Amino acid sequence: MTYDPISQRLLLEWFAALDTPEGFRAELIEGEFVRTPLPDGSHAHCLSGIVSQMYTRSRTDMTFSGNKGLRLGTLDGCPQDHAVPDGTFVPSALRVFRGAEPWMPCEGVALVIEVTCTKPGIDREIKPRCYARGGIPLCLLVDREASSVTLFSDPEKDDYRQLGTRPLGKPLALPEPFGFDLDTADFL
């Protein structure tokens, strides 16, 4: 949907004033409000396994934030995307999270993670487009329904030019600044 500049501003103002019910999170993605319930334990288990490996195996010291609001790019005719990845990694040396606002710009973000939940189509298709528009170098998708893990890389405009998909249980190579094979066996 395309919005005129006044409608874009009003939509952003409504979004900023939105009182999200407890147990939900809200995002503004490609001009649409998206409200999702908090994830289940299996979702948390996958995310926790990734975080643990990032801290112990990454070649670059990383800092992690779960559910950090990111201001991304803009789809033509829509207000700026405001997405909440399940996980966000930045090189620790950048100290990007220190003093950041609830909705921070995505400069310095090395990788975002999405683990499919109640709206898997958004995690599989729409959010990677948003992250590519924001110039985030890597997007990791754990697709629990498809039993696969996909690494999106090389963003250009609103798409990633490279995709690498592996079945859960098989390792997935993560490029620099991480530089290790992500073990996905425990995600099953």
pLDDT for 126 beyond 70 = yes
Q: What is the pLDDT of residues 137-167, one digit of tens each?
A: 999 999 999 999 999 999 998 899 999 999 9
Contact 151, 181 (CB under 8 A): no
pLDDT band at residue 15 using 50, 70 and 90 as cut-offs? low
Which residues, at least 6 apart from 13, have a Cβ–Cβ distance to it below 8 Å?
none
Q: What is the pLDDT of residues 26-51, one digit of tens each?
A: 766 777 767 777 788 898 999 999 99
Taking the CB of residue 142, how many other CB atoms lie within 10 A of it? 25
Which residues, at least 6 apart from 17, have a Cβ–Cβ distance to it below 8 Å?
none
